[in-house]
Structure 1
Amino acid sequence: MIGMLTTTILSFILYALIAIFFIAQNKKYRMTTLKAVGLVFVTLFILSVIIIYIVMPPITIPNMTIANLIVGTVGMVSLYALTKSKPFTKSTKHFDAITGALILLAIITIPGFIILGIFTLDDAHQSITKEEVDEAKPLDQDATPIVVSPEFARNKVQKAMSVVPNTQFYDLGKLQVQKIGDEIVFVAPVEFTGFWKYFRGKETEGYFTISATDVNAQPKFIKSKMKYTNSSYFNHQISRTIYNAHPGYIQSGEAQIEVDEEGKPWYVQTLYKPIGLTNKPNLQNLHVAVVDPVSSNVKLYKSEEAPSFIEGPISSEMASEENEYFGKYVHGWLNSIFGKKDVKIPNESGTEASVTPIFDENGEMHYFTDMSSPKENIDSALGYTLINARTGKLTYYNGEKNNGIMDSKGAKEIVNKEFPEKKWTGSMPVLYNIDGNPTWVVNVLDPNGLFKHYAYIKAADSDFVVFGDTARGTLESYRLALAQDPSNVESTGDANLEKRDGEVERVLVTTQDKKQVVQFLLQDDPIIYTVNSGKAPRAIFLQQGDKVKLEANIRDNQTAIVETIAIEGLTNTEQ
């Protein structure tokens, strides 16, 4: 309420100056003028309170300047209509001056803010804490365990809504990924379906959780009544609660639910202060408001200093906006329109506001987005970004060592074309580094959002696709297929090599793409060893009973790529 009154009062500064001028210049009709000023003031004040209450404009210089111009213009026109003052006449040139000054101010100010905002795009880009890395970071399955798409999770929770008391009042709110204990889950509050349901219900009943790593998991409903929510009205609305407490901050996206260690839900909202005389964000100074949905108590933190139970102090909407500033405005607005040097366009394949949340090996949440060229009809990825959901730091993996890989749109299209008769579609593509191969991992969903398959797609080869029913099983099948592909049986570079020796028990020589690949087993060793004949030509003569010494990159799926091999009686050391 204080924020709203402050905003309203600030919006009347120009009107007050105009009113004083009218009263001073209309001495002969001062009483009439005073009545007109009072009537206009009361009318405008009431209308302004209503509009500001609905719109909730943050107290920033552009917002308040434009609001002043609107109130001043409407007030001046109203005073002309209600008094004997007539503008644009020889007898009242002073009114010509004030009218002209107000029009000139509007002509200069409003376009001025637009132009200033354009030039500030480069400042917003520069405010990003960023790092560029040449080689793609390995994203192994254990480090990024989110394998359930939000569509699938929402579908499951919707079917469980009947457990909510007075379920006819509610619908499912925004899903938010969070780590509770050692488990990655989606959290979603139940929200009112409309004004009359809010009026009848007053409070919502609680929230749901469902595993983000197990497609067979069932949703759980946790009863926890909430009076202040996104779907509540009047002063019980979360955005209004935050606005009243911090009207000088701009809110980014919709508030989301996060749950503390005791299971208590909190609404979390990203806030920022604008740069200079604009509404553009300073991405080095992001904050988060944490709201108690029972008491409406609001606490403000710097994003990196938010309570530890909050995984995403920076919203997915803010991360998406950060990607936009990073990719499009690398050399300013003009370059983004004409030259487009170094411009990168964020793809919109993400699950939350064009980004996809993932967790790293340290349990920290990041937002993933792949970048593509602004040139049309090019579906190769230039690289991808990871934005830390707590600090906002952006790391760009430029993909220079993996040129020519497809982007997320291309990966989804491969899945879409695989099942046209069933109308199954790809969802939540995330780029993994599997055994040195950039790989798109995509959920396959039916038209109702139900999970059907996982698709593992080699990003550099659209024909190399493995489908499976489980994340782990599909990963193992994909890695085995990689091991059998001649194009992959190459140097493992800086990988940690292990030395092995033994007697050959089984041998299989296959020809693929005009290349011969040798696979063999050693006695009392479950690992399948694979060597490319191009690397070790004499390996094609390997026989059962041969004794070998080798160095190999051994993977956890009991396969290995051989780097060097020596066959007793046949070779010394094959490189």
Structure 2
Amino acid sequence: MTGILTTTILAFIMYIVLAGILIAKNSHRKGTFKAALLIFIFLFIIGSVSNYIILLPITVPNMVIANTGIALVGIFLLYGVTSVKTKKKKIGSYEAALGLVILLGVIAIPTVFVLGIFTVDDTYQSIDKQEVAEAKPLNKDDTPITVSPEFARNKVQKSMSVVPNTQFYDLGKLQVQRVGEDIVFVAPVEFTGLWKYFRGKETAGYFMISATDINAQPKFYDSKMKYTNSSYFNHNIERTIYAEFPNYIQSGEPQIEVDDDGKPWYVQTLYKPIGVTNKPDMKDMKVAVVDPVTSKTVAYDMNKAPDFIDSPLSSEMATDENNYFGKYVHGWLNSLFGKKDVKIPNDSGTESSVTPVFDENGDMYYFTDMASPKENIDSALGYTLINARTGELTYYNSKKNSGIMDSKGAKEIVNKEFPEKKWEGSMPILYNIDGNPTWVVNVLDPNGLFKKYAYIKAADSDFVVFGDTARETLESYRLALAQDPSNVEATGESALEEITGEVDRAIVTTQKAGQVIQFLLKGDKTVYTINAGKAPLSLFLQQGDKVKLKANIRDNGTGIVDTIEIEGLTE
């Protein structure tokens, strides 16, 4: 309540000053004072209730607009009340006051708006950022999220019957995080309305479901919460945070994260605005952590948040950061005219246009690919990774891998594949598969149920492999890469093993990708595959040939050959 009262009082400064001047100048001072006081009380009550509902942060633009609006209404009411008892010659001061308020409003509000426009460059400069000249697509083993939030939500919704008094609740916002060694989605149950809040008083707990196993089932955890997003009045989480930090702006909807003991906490990103605007200062951000049982609220610098919190930076703030970084690289005017170096974030993400991923160290990042502002161009300029604990943005440009499609193009390929079933692509992420930039996309039906995986070669829209499981699709895609005659170069960053041996059996088959040679070595059960486009002389491979090769050995008993030397043929 302290924050609400403070904000409301600050919104009345202009009215109090002008009312005081009018009282001093009015010959009927006693009547004017009483009228001004009653109007103040009336407007103060309305202002307090309004602020209790909208939770107006204490910032310069907000206070300017609030003061102008309240002063205008207050002086107009005061003029209307006192003019009945005052002769015309005494009314000039009221008219002057009204004119002054209107003039200040005409000057101040546009000024704040204009300052906001020219402050976007300050916000851009406040971003902790770096650019890497070469885009290195994410490693599939380091970023293992393979379940789309839509599919996970659908599965959890079907399990809501296990919640006590399930008629009171609905599923809240899904949040991905690492719990122990597992990557999971966590979602609280929330009240469905005011009446259910009065009846239930506290929510029942939260669900957890794997974000890496498509066959996993959700599990409900009984952990009652009194202070939640869907609670009303002083039990609402945003209101709880506002009461402690009214001079900070909240970014997005508070989300829950679970500590090592299974206790849920509500987490919210806060930021201070720059100067006399509401534009975010990316260097002055904090994270508020709320105990949903006691309402105890503590704010931390983001990089000093408790270890169990994977994303002190909200997905909404990450989206804003991408927008400022991409659009205002050379200022506001350039974002409208010329658009030099402007990059537009795609909105293909799973959370507020970004997609959370984890690196090999278990740190969470927000992934977003960047496209050209020019219409009808679906090639990616690069992508950003934003550290969810520090807010640091790294931009990987794709100049070396120019011509790769963006996430929108990848989703459209999937959408066009199953028009009669209305299946659509979801959660596209750019991975590095054996040195090839590859879009990995979930295929969902209209009800959000998972149907297939799609692996799409980012540099070739016709190179698409579908499969029912992540492992099956990955291996099929790798095999297709090896059989593709256009893939005549080495697999780059894939791990190659040097192998020597004697051919035991060999066959040549003709496939869509061209002629493919598969063979076995004596004493080795690995099935080796090489495309004739990479090694034409391998077409003449036969039993007894001694070979020396480099291959990427899979854990499914297959090997994709990159180079081969055949004694007597290539030596």
Q: TM-score, normalised by structure 2?
A: 0.95
Match of 1:438 in 2: 437
Which deviations, in whole Å up to 9, do the C-alpha atoms of 1:146-203 show, x marking residues without a partner? 1111111111111111111111111000000111111111111110000001011111
**Inter-CA distance 138–379: structure 2 relative to 1 (3 Å threshold):** closer
Amino acid paired to 1:568:
E
Q: Quick one: distance in 1 between partners of 2:70 and 2:512?
A: 75
1:55 counterpart residue number = 54
User: Once the two structures are superposed, what CA deviation does each residue of 1:60-104 show, in whole Å capped at 9, x if it has no partner?
Assistant: 111111111111111111111111389997765544443333222
Q: Is the 8 A contact 1:439 1:459 kept in 2?
A: yes
Q: Counterpart in 2 of 1:486?
A: 485
1:257-336 alignment runs, 5 A limit: 257-336=256-335
- Spell out the pairing of 1:207-218 with structure 2 (5 A cutoff): 207-218=206-217
| 2:338 paired with 1:347 | no
- Once the two structures are overlaid, the 10-residue window that deviates more, 332-341 or 220-229, is 332-341
Distance 2:341 2:564 in 1: 45
1:2 paired with 2:6, answer no
Indicate if the aligned counterparts of 2:76 and 2:98 stay in contact, CA closer than 8 A: no
Name the stretch that deviates more: 202-211 or 408-417.
408-417
| 1:161-560 matched pairs, under 5 angstroms | 161-493=160-492, 497-509=496-508, 518-531=517-530, 533=532, 536-554=535-553, 559-560=558-559
Amino acid in structure 1 at the alignment position of 2:33: L
- Asked whether the equivalents of residues 483 and 559 of structure 1 are also in contact (C-alpha less than 8 Å), the reply is no
Say yes or no: does 1:81 pair with 2:73.
no
Once residues 51 and 192 of structure 2 are traced to their aligned partners in structure 1, the CA distance between those partners, rounded to angstroms, is 24
Q: Secondary structure at the match of 1:17?
A: helix
Q: Report which stretch shifted further, 67-76 or 82-91.
A: 82-91
The answer to whether the Cα contact below 8 Å between 1:80 and 1:87 also exists between their aligned partners in 2 is: no
Distance in 2, matches of 1:64 and 1:89, equals: 34
2:154 aligned with 1:127: no
Aligned length: 571
Alignment of 1:4-83 (within 5 A): 4-27=4-27, 29-83=28-82
| 8 A contact 1:327–1:344 mirrored in 2 | yes
8 A Cα contact 1:130 1:394, kept in partner: yes
TM score, norm. by length of structure 1: 0.95
What does the per-residue CA deviation read over 1:227-281, in whole Å, with 9 as the maximum and x for residues that have no partner?
1000000000000000001101000000001111111111100110111111111
- CA separation in 1, counterparts of 2:284 and 2:83? 52
Mapped partners of 2:335, 2:95: distance in 1: 43
How far the C-alpha of 1:345 sits from its partner, in A, is: 0.9
- What are the superposed Cα offsets for residues 118-141 of structure 1, whole Å, 9 maximum, x if unpaired? 111111111111121233334233
CA distance in 1, matches of 2:42, 2:417: 63
Q: CA deviation at 1:387?
A: 0.9
AA at the equivalent of 2:288: A
Indicate conservation of the 8 Å contact 1:69/1:106, yes or no: yes
- Code of the residue aligned with 1:355 in structure 2: it is V
Alignment of structure 1 residues 85-100 onto 2, 5 Å:
93-100=92-99
Q: Which moved more, 1:529-538 or 1:164-173?
A: 529-538
Separation in structure 1 between the aligned mates of residue 562 and residue 463 of structure 2, nearest angstrom = 24
The SS at the match of 1:401 is: coil
Letter in 1 for 2:4: M
437 and 167 in structure 1: CA distance in 2 versus 1, 3 angstrom threshold: same
Cα 1:277/1:209, change in 2 over 3 Å = same
Equivalent residue number for residue 111 of structure 2: 112
- Match of 2:138, SS state, is coil
Contact 1:87–1:96, Cα closer than 8 Å, also in 2? no
Are residues 115 and 526 of structure 1, via their aligned partners in 2, closer, same or farther at CA, if it must alter by over 3 Å? Answer: farther
CA distance in 2, matches of 1:104, 1:487: 70
Q: Secondary structure, in 3 states, of the residue corresponding to 1:400?
A: coil
Partner amino acid, structure 2, of 1:454: Y
Cα pair 2:140 2:432 within 8 Å, conserved = no
Quick one: distance in 2 between partners of 1:339 and 1:513? 45
1:515 Cα deviation from its structure 2 partner: 6.5
Give the drift of 1:499.
2.5
Structure 2 counterpart SS, 1:3 = helix
Contact 1:89 1:96 in 2 (8 A): no
Structure 1 counterpart of 2:479, one-letter code: L
| C-alpha displacement of 1:540 | 3.3
Q: Residue 544 and residue 524 in structure 1: after superposition, are their counterparts in 2 closer, same or farther (change >3 A)?
A: same
C-alpha deviation, 1:282, in angstroms: 1.1
Deviations 1:303-349 (A, max 9, x none): 11110111111111111111111111111111111211111111111
SS in 2 for 1:402: coil
What is the aligned partner in structure 1 of residue 146 from structure 2?
147
Change (3 A) 1:495 1:412: closer
Matches of 1:320 and 1:240, distance apart in 2: 23
Please, what is the CA RMSD of the aligned residues?
2.1
Change over 3 Å in CA distance of 1:492–1:162 after alignment to 2: closer
Q: Is the 8 A contact 2:506 2:517 kept in 1?
A: yes
**Any idea what the Cα deviations from partners look like across 1:518-550, whole Å, max 9, x if unmatched?**
443322234444555565453333322111223
2:7 counterpart letter in structure 1: T
- Asked if structure 2 preserves the Cα contact closer than 8 Å seen for 1:319 and 1:367, the reply is yes
Q: Residues of 2 paired with 1:337 and 1:87: CA distance? A: 54
Q: Deviations over 1:347-389 (max 9, x none)?
A: 1111111111111111111111111111111111111111111
| C-alpha separation in 1, matches of 2:122 and 2:554 | 46
Establish whether residue 103 from structure 1 lines up as the match of residue 120 from structure 2.
no
Which stretch has the larger CA shift, 335-344 or 86-95? 86-95
The secondary structure found in structure 2 opposite 1:107 is: helix
Partners of 1:87 and 1:375 in 2: how far apart?
64
> Which one is further off, 138-147 or 196-205?
138-147
Unmatched 5+ residue regions in structure 2?
Answer: none
Residue 514 to residue 5, structure 1, CA distance change in 2 (3 Å): closer
Q: Find the aligned partners of 1:297 and 1:223 in 2 and give their Cα distance.
A: 20
How far apart are the structure 2 equivalents of 1:216 and 1:514? 32
Change in Cα spacing, 1:225 to 1:384, as seen in structure 2 (3 Å) is same
Cα pair distance change 1:462/1:524, threshold 3 Å: same
1:211 partner amino acid: S
Following the alignment from structure 1 to structure 2, what is the Cα–Cα distance between the partners of residues 216 and 518? 35
Secondary structure of 2:139's counterpart equals coil
| Cα displacement string for residues 478-517 of structure 1 (whole angstroms, at most 9, x for unaligned residues) | 1111111112241244666433211122334456789655
Query: Aligned partner of 1:13: which letter?
Result: I
